[in-house]
Structure 1
Amino acid sequence: MLADSTAITTYLVFIGIVSALALVLASVVLTLAFRETRRDRIARHESIPAYYGRGYFAH
């Protein structure tokens, strides 16, 4: 046998936990970023098309 099955199982569990934590972190960061964008737009009383159009047409 090339490797101990306990070591492989432990490694796979570790990789799974790290992957889950990375997904949770990414979702939290994206949620906060979108929430701030929405707050920013509402503070300026802009519609969604006006908000995105402003950045698109600005040169």
Structure 2
Amino acid sequence: MQAPMLIGLAGGTGSGKTTVARTILETFKEDCALIPQDAYYKDQTNLPMEERVK
């Protein structure tokens, strides 16, 4: 049995993270698990849009 491997994907919106993750899942099938971490952006809903885009 091989040692477990952890692959972390990071990048901006539209950079291809999901595409790479899906390719890894399709390649390794049942030997692979996806642990999503999509909700890590700082909540700025209390700020007006002009302040958020700075």
TM-score range, shorter chain: under 0.3
What TM-score results when the alignment is normalised by the length of structure 2?
0.27
Instruction: Give the structure, 1 or 2, with the largest relative contact order (CA under 8 Å, sep 6 or more).
Output: 2
What TM-score results when the alignment is normalised by the length of structure 1?
0.25
Flag the structure with larger Rg: 1
